[in-house]
Homo-oligomer: A and B are copies of this chain.
């Protein structure tokens, strides 16, 4: 019945645990795929081209924007991030659920272009907790951390534009709630073609048994 897939957007402050929570649900939702973003930022240790991000130069990125190859794009902490259109549309038409981790400006563009997308906001348990998480992540400089913190504080105000929120006080609980939201959204009446559905369901009505 579920011919078409849909898009799930996960946002939230840097340090909220978006990647960890996303990674925890892949094994239990077989048709879930990760939308790989394009970025101009430098790879962090362990990040792989085409799996974590498509790493591009600012010049390459602006050519993709000009050609309309990105559904959304935004600048964040001095770097550009964008979502390749072809991949998302292709996966959804194949019935896949595409999940992506983007910030609030990008999510607002998605909401306009794909109103049927599911927008989820992930939060750390508190502001103090967020500070501690970012400070203990030793891979960024103090300035980057300070900038991310201020940005995160502003981002919380964008939560009103999202469909769902999840408080990441425990990885397993947060992952379970994301899984629950995605599974519930699979039952949305607005995602099925009602005429086809009715024809299938009523198949036996003319029987005289």
| CB-defined contacts of A131 to chain B, threshold 8 Å | 204
Contact between A203 and B126 (Cβ–Cβ < 8 Å)? yes
| CB-defined contacts of A123 to chain B, threshold 8 Å | 201
B-facing mask of A145-188, CB < 8 A → 1, else 0?
Answer: 00000000100110110111111000000000100110111011
| CB-defined contacts of A165 to chain B, threshold 8 Å | 187, 189, 192
- Please name the residue on chain B nearest to A205 by beta carbon: B127
Residues 54-91 (chain A) with a chain B CB within 8 angstroms: none
Q: How far is the CA of A119 from the CA of B31 in the complex (A)?
A: 26
Q: How far is the CB of A33 from chain B (nearest CB, A)?
A: 20
| CB-defined contacts of A209 to chain B, threshold 8 Å | 128
Contact between A184 and B180 (Cβ–Cβ < 8 Å)? yes
- Please name the residue on chain B nearest to A185 by beta carbon: B184
Contact between A201 and B127 (Cβ–Cβ < 8 Å)? yes
Count of chain A residues with a beta carbon within 8 Å of a chain B beta carbon: 38
Q: A183-B180, A184-B184 are in contact. Are A156 and B126 (CB under 8 A)?
A: no
A3 at interface by CB-CB < 8 Å: no
Which are the 7 A-B pairs with shortest beta-carbon distances? A184-B184, A128-B204, A164-B187, A181-B184, A127-B205, A180-B183, A127-B204
User: A-side interface residues toward B, CB under 8 Å?
Assistant: 1, 121, 123, 126-128, 131, 153, 156-157, 159-160, 162-167, 177, 180-181, 183-185, 187-189, 192, 194, 197-198, 201-205, 207, 209
| 26 sample A-B contacts, Cβ–Cβ < 8 Å, listed by A number | A1-B167, A121-B189, A123-B201, A126-B201, A126-B203, A127-B201, A127-B202, A127-B203, A127-B204, A127-B205, A128-B203, A128-B204, A131-B204, A153-B205, A157-B198, A159-B189, A159-B194, A159-B197, A160-B189, A163-B189, A166-B187, A177-B187, A180-B184, A181-B187, A183-B184, A184-B184
Known interface pairs A128-B204, A165-B189, A165-B192; 9 further A-B residue pairs with C-beta atoms within 8 A, sorted by A's residue number: A126-B204, A127-B205, A163-B188, A164-B184, A177-B184, A180-B180, A180-B184, A180-B187, A183-B184
